Every structure is written in C-alpha cells, then in structure tokens.
C-alpha cells in the first residue's frame, strides 16, 4: 500500500514537472517587438527576404522579424500545425487560390482599417493583382508579387531546325505545327529524343486555363457552384491537349515524370508555357531561351495571372508591427529587392516598369510578362480549390496516359468537381 502511494506521488511529480515545462510561456519583455514571417520558397529566396528584413529592421529598430522559409509542401503542413496549436506566425505568405480557404476559416486579419489609415497605399499596385484579395468588407491579404504565364522557347532548337521564333501573333495552330516539327527522334530508335512542347496539364495554371479562355470557355461559374470545364469552347481546349499527347508532341505525365518533371529545363523540349518563377532555374541550367506571349485562340489572346501575397493572422498579438512589415515589403524599396530575386514580378507598377525589374541580368525580354497583363484572366479563387483541382487533374491523367477516353473522363469529372464545390459552400 505504501509503495502504491509512493508510486502515485512520483507519477504526479513527474507529470507536474512535464506540464510546467510545457506551459512555461515566452517571457514578456518590454523591449523590441518580435514578429515571425513564414513563407514557402527556395533557399536563395531566404537570402533576399533576409535583405528585405534587414532594411526593414534598420528603419524600425524596435521591431525584430524572424523569417522562416520552408518548401511548398511542408509549408502548408507546418502552417496548419501552428494554427491548430494556437501559435500562428504573425505574417505569412499566401497563394491566391488558397486565400478563401483561409479567410473563410477566420484565420486572417482584415487589413482594411490599416489600408484606410494609409491613403493612397494601393494606388501604385497593378489592379489585376489586387482583385484576388478584395472581398466585400475589405482586403484580408495583399499581393506581394505576381506571375503571368508566357510561352518559353529554346532558341538553339529553333535555330537547329531553321525555324523562326514564336511571335506575339502566334495562334494555337502555329504552336501545334511548330511543336510537331520540333518533335524529333534523332537516333531513329523509335523513341522521341526531343519533344516540341512540355507543360503541366494537371493544374490549370500553366496551360489548360489559358487554352480554355482562348477558346471562349470558362472554368467555373461566377458564384462558384458550377464547373464549366466541359462546356462549349472548353471541350475544344481539351481536345487540343488530347491531340498533343496522342501525337506524341508532348510527353505524357508518366513519361515526363521519368525525366524529372520539367523537360524544358533538362533540354528535352523545345517549348513550354510557364511563369517567371522558372527563369532562374532555366538560366542556371544554361538553357538558351526566349519568351513570347501565349498563343491566340479562336476567341483571341488569353493568359493567366496569379499572385502570392501577405496575410496577417487574426490571432497575432502584434498586428501593428506585422502591418508595418508588410507595408515596407510592398514599398518601392522592398519591391526593388524582390525584383532582384528574379523569381517573380513586382506588384508595384513603378518598380515593375523600372530598370530594377526590366534590366535584370541576361537578355530576356521582361516586357512580355508585363504586356501579358493586358489579356490576362485571374486564376480563379474559390473555396475548396485544392480538392477541386485534385479531382479534375487526377480524373484526366488516365486520358493523357492513354488509358481512358477524353469525353468519358470529362463527363465523370464534372459532377465530382461540382460536389466538392457544393461541400465547400
């Protein structure tokens, strides 16, 4: 009996020790305010962001910013875990398509009062980039940079074939015929050594949304209740993609996976459609490339614009300091630093149209990315985006891999996608 009491005492003691260790909160100092900024990105992005933070801290000595960078996949898991644990970061990066998922959960601070307190703050922004974040009662996030999708081409491969580079007048028919000509089996072993085109058809951003818009189709109804990817012009867009795969002009997802995904970067595809974020990688891989606007379809030119942004946690204890940091990063000084990074395009018109962005190292025509805004559609932002994109992307992969019929698959995908929209009302 005595022993049992001793045992219980020891257990209680150890449990108490453990609990007190867990419960000890951060010391509340009266010194500088500390905020955390979390983002996804490559290691080189951390360097540039650290530079932005250093500039900011120099101007605001009473605020200390901790930058935490993770890769895309672990970023979201980490963020969710921090939120579930009640210790969210003060400022974090947001991908526009996922914005509503977070906003609707009440995770984000309404920035409108701060914006109202800084008249003219949003005047210098490209309006297309602000659209994604604007809600009825204000902005719960602000864009920090944006991406338009353009056509990248490998100059060496065009030169070798004696073909003219793509121009702003190209149509999707031109793209198809040029891709055909540039698909080569150099050693005649029955296997393609150079593909005319490689792009990702799983998510809408790189290719299929642009193609649907250029064919006069739509992706989702304005009230986010109906998936429109199988109606009218949209179906023609899918037939076009089906042709690219069936004719062997574009490697199937299974084949592309074997070559590590980006066949343009590995020098095995003559063209691709992608955003500015790919530029540093292509430069590093010594690809001799140029860019042209997306081709025109039967209903004119179209491309997609998407943005990454900043949001502030509603539960952050330092809203003022957090906004001060965002404000700085979105100022000309902050945006110029970001332009140096070479991954994305600044949201401030004055910076994007200045030498900081336009005169980056190399001879790439940066203007193409800016001019594309004129015919860009916003990448749709709606609740349940990730799940919806999965159903559509997964549902069509068997078609691209040659295991299923396009129309059958489309007809099966749409109701499942609509069900997800209904569940995310």
Partner 1 sequence: MEYGLKPLGREKLWLWLMLVPTIIGLLFGTIGSLLATLTLSFFDWDLIGSPTWAGISNYDALFKNESYMEAFSNTLKFSAMYVPGVVIISLLLAVLLNRKIRGVGIFRTIYFLPTVTSAVATALVWNMIYGRDTGILNFMLESVGMSPICWLCTNNAMLSVVIVNVWGAIGEGMIIFLAGLTAIPRDYYKAAELDGASGFQQFLRVTIPLVTPSIFFQTLIAAINAFQAYDYIYMLTRRSGGDSSVPVAVFSIYRNAFHFFRMGDASAQAIQLAVLVALFMGVMFWWERRYVVYE
Name the residues that contact partner 1, by CB under 8 A: 3, 6-7, 10-11, 14-15, 18, 73, 76-77, 80-81, 83-84, 101, 105-107, 191, 200, 202-203, 252-255, 257-258, 261, 384, 386-387, 389-391, 393-394, 397-398, 401-404, 416, 419
| Nearest one of 217, 211, 216, 204 to 171, comparing CA atoms | 211
Structure tokens at 251: 């490697």
In angstroms, the CA 295 to CA 301 distance is 7
Q: What are phi and psi of 307, to 5 degrees?
A: -140, 155
The residue (of 10 and 374) whose beta carbon lies closer to partner 1 is: 10
CB of 163 to partner 1, least distance (A): 25
- Which residue has tokens 């204890």? 317
The residue (of 305 and 389) whose beta carbon lies closer to partner 1 is: 389
The CA-atom distances, in angstroms, between 369 and each of 27, 147, 175, 199 are 48, 8, 19, 18
In angstroms, the CA 27 to CA 317 distance is 14
The residue (of 111 and 352) whose beta carbon lies closer to partner 1 is: 111
The residue (of 340 and 386) whose beta carbon lies closer to partner 1 is: 386
CB of 12 to partner 1, least distance (A): 11
The residue (of 211 and 330) whose beta carbon lies closer to partner 1 is: 211
The residue (of 7 and 177) whose beta carbon lies closer to partner 1 is: 7
CB of 83 to partner 1, least distance (A): 5
* Exposure on the CB side of residue 421, measured as CA atoms within 13 A: 21
In angstroms, the CA 424 to CA 418 distance is 10
CB of 246 to partner 1, least distance (A): 15
The residue (of 77 and 350) whose beta carbon lies closer to partner 1 is: 77
CB of 105 to partner 1, least distance (A): 5
- Which residue has tokens 């955003």? 275
**DSSP codes of every residue in 208-262:** HHHHHHHTT--SB-TTS--B-TTSTHHHHHHHHHHHHHHTTSS--HHHHHHTTS-
**DSSP codes of every residue in 123-180:** TTB-HHHHHTTEETTEES-EEEEEEE-EEEEEHHHHHHHT-PPP-TT-BHHHHHHHHH
CB of 86 to partner 1, least distance (A): 9
In angstroms, the CA 380 to CA 221 distance is 10
The residue (of 273 and 360) whose beta carbon lies closer to partner 1 is: 273
CB of 11 to partner 1, least distance (A): 6
């Amino acid at each position: 009996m005595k022993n049992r009491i001793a045992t219980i005492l020891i257990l209680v003691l150890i449990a108490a020790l453990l609990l007190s260790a867990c419960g000890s909160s951060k010391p509340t100092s009266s010194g500088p305010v500390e905020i955390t900024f979390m983002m996804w990105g490559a290691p080189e992005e951390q360097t540039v962001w650290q530079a932005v933070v250093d500039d900011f801290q120099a101007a605001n000595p009473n605020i200390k910013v901790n930058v935490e960078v993770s890769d895309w996949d672990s970023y979201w898991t980490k963020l969710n875990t921090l939120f579930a644990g009640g210790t969210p970061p003060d400022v974090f990066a947001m991908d526009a398509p996922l914005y509503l998922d977070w906003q609707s959960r009440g995770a984000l601070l309404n920035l409108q009062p701060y914006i109202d307190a800084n008249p003219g703050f949003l005047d210098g922004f490209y309006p297309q980039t602000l659209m994604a974040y604007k809600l009825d009662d204000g902005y719960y996030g602000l864009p920090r940079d944006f991406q338009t999708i353009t056509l990248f081409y490998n100059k060496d491969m065009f030169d070798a074939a004696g073909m003219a580079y793509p121009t702003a007048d190209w149509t999707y028919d031109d793209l198809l015929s040029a891709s055909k000509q540039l698909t080569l089996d150099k050693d005649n072993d029955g296997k393609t050594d150079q593909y005319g085109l490689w792009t990702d058809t799983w998510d809408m951003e790189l290719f299929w949304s642009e193609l649907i818009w250029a064919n006069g189709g739509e992706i989702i109804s304005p009230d986010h209740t109906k998936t429109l990817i199988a109606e009218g012009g949209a179906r023609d867009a899918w037939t076009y993609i089906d042709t690219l795969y069936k004719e062997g002009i574009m490697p199937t997802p299974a084949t592309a996976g074997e070559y590590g995904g980006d066949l343009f970067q590995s020098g095995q595809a003559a063209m691709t459609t992608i955003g500015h974020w790919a530029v540093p990688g292509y430069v590093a891989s010594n690809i001799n490339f140029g860019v042209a606007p997306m081709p025109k379809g039967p209903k004119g030119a179209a491309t997609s614009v998407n943005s990454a942004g900043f949001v502030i946690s509603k539960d952050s204890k330092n809203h003022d300091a957090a906004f001060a940091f965002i404000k700085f990063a979105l100022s000309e000084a902050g945006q110029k630093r970001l332009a140096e990074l070479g991954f994305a395009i600044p949201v401030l018109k004055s910076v994007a149209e200045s030498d900081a962005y336009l005169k980056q190292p190399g001879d790439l025509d940066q203007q193409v990315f800016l001019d594309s805004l004129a015919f860009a559609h916003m990448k749709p932002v709606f609740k349940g985006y990730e799940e919806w994109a999965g159903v559509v992307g997964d549902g069509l992969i068997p078609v691209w891999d040659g295991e299923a019929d396009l129309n059958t698959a489309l007809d099966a995908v749409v109701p499942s996608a609509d069900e997800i929209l209904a569940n995310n009302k």
